[in-house]
Structure 1
Amino acid sequence: MDNPPKKGLSLRYGGRKLMLRSRAKYHLGQVVRHKKHPFRGVVFDVDPEFNNTEEWYRSIPEDSRPRKEQPFYHLLAENEQSYYVAYVSEQNLVADYSGEPVSHPDIPDLFGPFEDGHYPLHFSLN
């Protein structure tokens, strides 16, 4: 019996790096919080691996840079001072079980009312 590839396993084919499997730990509408920084947010998109600019990546202190070969999440984020969109690696997130809704003003554009600890999507995915 074949063993499935491990999460994040990659190979090179024709000079291109291919992900054999990438599974996101968090789902659309889930409330998460950052492990190190005081903010939390709602997942509204997921990249299977890093998909931002090198300039953005290099702006992170080298000793804190996350691996690129993991899911990265787009969050409607909030902290005590403001609301914003955050781009965060999976290794830096944990699920938020506070049961508290996120107050980001753009949430109603994408999601229904907060229920059972998450936000349901307004639309169906293809």
Structure 2
Amino acid sequence: MVQFPMNSHEQYVYEVTYSVADQFSEAHETWLPKTTEQWITTAKLDGFESEQNVLGESPEVRLRLTFETFAQWTAFVESDAYRDCLEQLQPMTEHLTTHLWEPTTISLHSPANDGTQLTADGCWGDE
């Protein structure tokens, strides 16, 4: 069995996704840079990205914060800086969700030893 780690530097990725309610667009434009500065200066972040949905679908915004350890993520979400900023964001948004992701390994082998193999296009096929 061959295993390929999907990320050479294992990190925890925390996502905050939401859509901004129309009446709060200006407030959000003020909130986001202030919050970004506060979070990156007070938390042990490995990275921070703000992304916008290109297709205009909901959620419109995704904030991706990366942490080297689970303990660093835990300290962040338990911090007053995080809680205060999220409390400010909540009334400005629709469909606010958060998710924590960790790296996983994908094993490249046939699920059943039935003579199939991984083909050049990445699909399982007959030998």
TM-score range, shorter chain: under 0.3
Higher relative contact order (CA 8 A, sep 6+): 2
TM-score by length of 1: 0.21
Q: Which structure carries more helix by proportion?
A: 2
TM-score by length of 2: 0.21
Q: Which structure carries more strand by proportion?
A: 2
Which structure has the larger Rg over C-alpha atoms?
Answer: 2
